[in-house]
Amino acid sequence: MFSQKQHQEEAQQVGSQFVRYYYNLFDTDRQQLQNLYTPESLLYWHGEVCRGSTQISSGITNLPFNKIVHVITTDDHQLTPQNYILSMVIGQLQMDSNRPVNFHETFLLKKESQSWMLINQAFRFTS
Amino acid sequence: MVDQPVWEQIGSSFVTHYYQMFDSDRSRLGAIYTDASCLTWEGQQFQGKLDIVKKLTSLPFTKIAHSITAQDHQPTPDCCILSMVVGQLKADNDPVMGFHQTFILKNVNDSWVCTNDMFRLALHNFG
């Protein structure tokens, strides 16, 4: 049996890989993000509510910029009592040639079949 | 507000209560954590109510005041609540600083407790 510490370390590894994968996909081809969400996924984008992979993907794809770059400043990950992974990211992003802005984002991942799916997500600009 | 979803009411009451307790007497915060709770404070992880309260009470300031800039609360599939807070704090005579915090709340015996807590100051490496 794994100790609680080992479980937390695993959550740290999975969470860390996931957020980097997520932002890389967001920055290169954000339409592909649809595969990470389920019909029950919930995204709050700076206070606006989107539910389900179709609505979420459509919302993200239609964001009003061509180019975006995310840079992670810090990322923290924990295992929850139900074995979901909770991740909190603080970073900066730049849309097109606008000045970089700060953001705060939280993800909750749930394992379905063999894949980690994004079931809850909240994003806010902080500057 | 009557029309506010229940998870928003619970989440918002919780964070208000949390920061009030933190600001007035943080040794009392033990009541909102359990033995299975996990705190990540500025990247360091603490497991269980005792270690968490030990960390919070040993933080090197006497006086602290939090103010919430924005908060988001979402229901999760396992009937928990995911709360994300962006705010500002002032410790002793230090300048005001931004902070980010994420909580997962779970109902245990009719009482909402915090199973996961992540805190970061809003510091960015520019450039």
Confidence of residue B3 (pLDDT cuts 50, 70, 90): confident
Q: What is the CATH classification number for the domain harbouring A121?
A: 3.10.450.50
Please report, rounded to a whole number, the percentage of residues in chain B having pLDDT higher than 70.
95
Phi first, then psi, for residue A53 (nearest 5°) are -60, -40
Residue A127: what pLDDT? 80
Confidence of residue B126 (pLDDT cuts 50, 70, 90): very low
**Residue B124 in this model has a pLDDT that exceeds 70:** no
Query: Burial level of A112, CB count in 10 A (0-12/13-18/19+)?
Result: exposed
- Would you give per-residue pLDDT tens digits along chain A (127 residues)? 567 777 888 999 999 999 999 999 999 999 999 999 999 999 999 999 999 999 999 999 999 899 999 999 999 999 999 999 999 999 999 999 999 999 999 999 999 999 999 999 999 999 8
Residue B127: what pLDDT? 38
Q: Average pLDDT over chain A, rounded to whole?
A: 94
Q: What is the pLDDT of residues B94-111, one digit of tens each?
A: 999 999 999 999 999 999
Q: Which of A79, A88, A110 sits opposite B100 (nearest CB)?
A: A88
Q: Nearest to residue B33, comparing CAs of B121, B119, B113, B105?
A: B113
CA dist., res. B86 & res. B23, Å (int): 16
List, in sequence order, every residue forming a beta bridge with A91; answer none if it has no partner: A72, A103
CATH class held by domain B6-121: alpha beta
**Residue B67 in this model has a pLDDT that exceeds 90:** yes
Phi first, then psi, for residue A49 (nearest 5°) are -95, 130
Q: Is the dihedral of CA A36, A40, A46, A48 positive or negative?
A: positive
- Our count of domains for chain A comes to 1
Question: Taking a C-beta distance cutoff of 8 angstroms, is the pair B100, B40 a contact?
Answer: no
Q: Which of B40, B106, B120 sits opposite A78 (nearest CB)?
A: B40
CA dist., res. B27 & res. B23, Å (int): 10
Residues of B with CB under 8 A from a CB of A: 36, 38, 40, 43, 45, 47, 69-70, 72, 74-78, 80, 82, 84, 86, 98, 100, 102, 104, 106, 115-116, 118, 120, 122-125
Question: Taking a C-beta distance cutoff of 8 angstroms, is the pair B87, B15 a contact?
Answer: no
List, in sequence order, every beta strand (DSSP E) within chain A: 37-45, 48-51, 68-79, 85-95, 101-112, 115-125
- What is the domain range of residue A59? 4-126
Residue showing tokens 């009030």? B20
Q: Nearest to residue A89, comparing CAs of B69, B111, B102, B110?
A: B102
Residues of A with CB under 8 A from a CB of B: 4-5, 8, 40, 42, 44, 47, 73-74, 76, 78-82, 84, 86, 88, 90-92, 102, 104, 106, 108, 110, 119-120, 122, 124, 126
